[in-house]
């Protein structure tokens, strides 16, 4: 939902970043306003996931230039856990398994830490149990997932549902969903996408990193950006995604090369 007057949630300016000394992001510019859904597409290795991880503060990446404002404030002044409490959520491409830690304990600690960080009320285990069971219905999750270890032995689809369950609990202002569709069968995709749609509103925003148009059949993007070699080389509306689906990425890459020689 585009509203040119909506407040800016995220402003990325000339962002560059490296991992293990290799340049991955080479000057990203992106503005996301409240209520918007942005899709970031592009071939493997173009830097899509890196962008999401850098914004969330993954320690393996080093920011080498540019700036990022989150609700008008310097994002890089915050540690990754502070960013989460401030309202940034990263949905992992490969959610991490934590053997021995029950999902319910983990979810409650995350919920209460974020609530506390926002000056809101924390819930005791019984209150939280009611809340989490309610949210699980949205994702058609069996409550038995609460007593299992975090993501331990979960199928790909179960892990992704668990990610969106966390998004539902933490109510982020900006959700960065990194290939949430990968590893999902068509039914699971429908449920997960349905969950995301329910959570999006005029006050928050979402950046979807994806390879495939199929997710965008369920979650309609307001903008589609194509990344290549660490830059956004084309931005458009949802029709751009359809065009990519039909033509692949090569024509854009060729365009860019042609453009560069002019």
Give the binding site for another protein (CB under 8 A): 56-60, 79-81, 84-85, 89-90, 92, 95-96, 98-102, 105-106, 109-110, 113-114, 117, 149, 166, 170
Q: Which of 89, 223 has the CB closer to another protein?
A: 89
Closer to another protein by Cβ: residue 84 or 226: 84
Report in angstroms how near the CB of residue 25 gets to another protein at its nearest: 18
Residue 82's contacts (CB-CB under 8 Å, 6 or more residues apart) are: 117
Instruction: Report residue 203 as tokens.
Output: 């006050």
Neighbouring C-beta atoms of residue 213, cutoff 10 Å: 17
Residue 222 CB, shortest distance to another protein, in Å, is 25
| Gap between the Cα atoms of 33 and 28, Å rounded | 16
Minimum CB distance to another protein, residue 80 (Å): 4
Least Å distance between CB 61 and another protein?
11
> How near is the Cβ of 90 to another protein at its closest, in Å?
5
Give whichever of 33 and 161 is closer to another protein, judged by the CB atom. Answer: 161
Closest CA to 171 of 227, 87, 75: 87
Separation between Cα atoms, residue 56 and residue 235, nearest integer Å: 22
Residue whose C-alpha is closest to residue 253's, from 233, 230, 223, 225: 233
In this structure, the number of other CB atoms found within 10 A of the CB of residue 91 comes to 25
**Between 170 and 184, whose beta carbon lies closer to another protein?**
170
56: left (phi > 0), else alpha (psi -120 to 50), else beta? alpha
The beta strands (E) that lie in 92-184 are given as 98-102, 149-150, 174-178
Is the CB of 52 or the CB of 216 nearer to another protein?
52
Closer by beta carbon to another protein, 100 or else 259: 100
Would you tell me how many other CB atoms lie within 10 Å of the CB of residue 169?
A: 20
Closest to another protein by CB, 2 or 79? 79
Minimum distance, C-beta of residue 100 to another protein, in the bound complex (Å): 3
Contact 204, 174 (CB under 8 A): yes
Q: How far is the CB of 151 from another protein (least distance, A)?
A: 9
């Amino acid at each position: 939902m585009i509203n040119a007057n909506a407040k800016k949630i995220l402003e990325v300016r000339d962002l560059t970043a490296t991992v293990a000394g290799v340049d991955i992001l080479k000057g990203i510019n992106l503005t996301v306003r409240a209520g918007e859904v942005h899709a970031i597409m592009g071939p493997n290795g173009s830097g899509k996931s890196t962008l999401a991880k850098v914004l969330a503060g993954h320690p393996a990446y080093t920011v080498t230039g540019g700036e990022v404002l989150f609700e008008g404030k310097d994002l890089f002044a915050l540690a990754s856990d502070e960013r989460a409490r401030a309202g940034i959520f990263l949905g992992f491409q490969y959610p991490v398994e934590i053997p021995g830690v029950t999902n319910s304990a983990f979810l409650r600690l995350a919920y209460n830490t974020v609530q506390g960080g926002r000056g809101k009320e924390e819930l005791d285990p019984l209150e939280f149990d009611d809340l989490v069971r309610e949210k699980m219905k949205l994702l058609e999750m069996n409550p038995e997932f609460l007593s299992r270890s975090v993501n331990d032995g979960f199928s790909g689809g179960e892990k992704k549902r668990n990610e969106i369950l966390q998004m539902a609990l933490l109510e982020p202002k900006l959700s960065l969903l990194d290939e949430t569709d990968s590893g999902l069968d068509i039914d699971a995709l429908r449920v997960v996408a349905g969950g995301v749609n329910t959570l999006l509103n005029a006050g928050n925003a979402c950046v979807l990193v994806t390879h495939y148009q199929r997710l965008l059949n369920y979650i309609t993007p307001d903008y589609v950006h194509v990344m290549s070699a660490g830059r956004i080389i084309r931005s458009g509306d949802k029709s751009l995604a359809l065009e990519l689906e039909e033509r692949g990425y090569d024509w854009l890459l060729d365009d860019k090369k042609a453009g560069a020689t002019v």
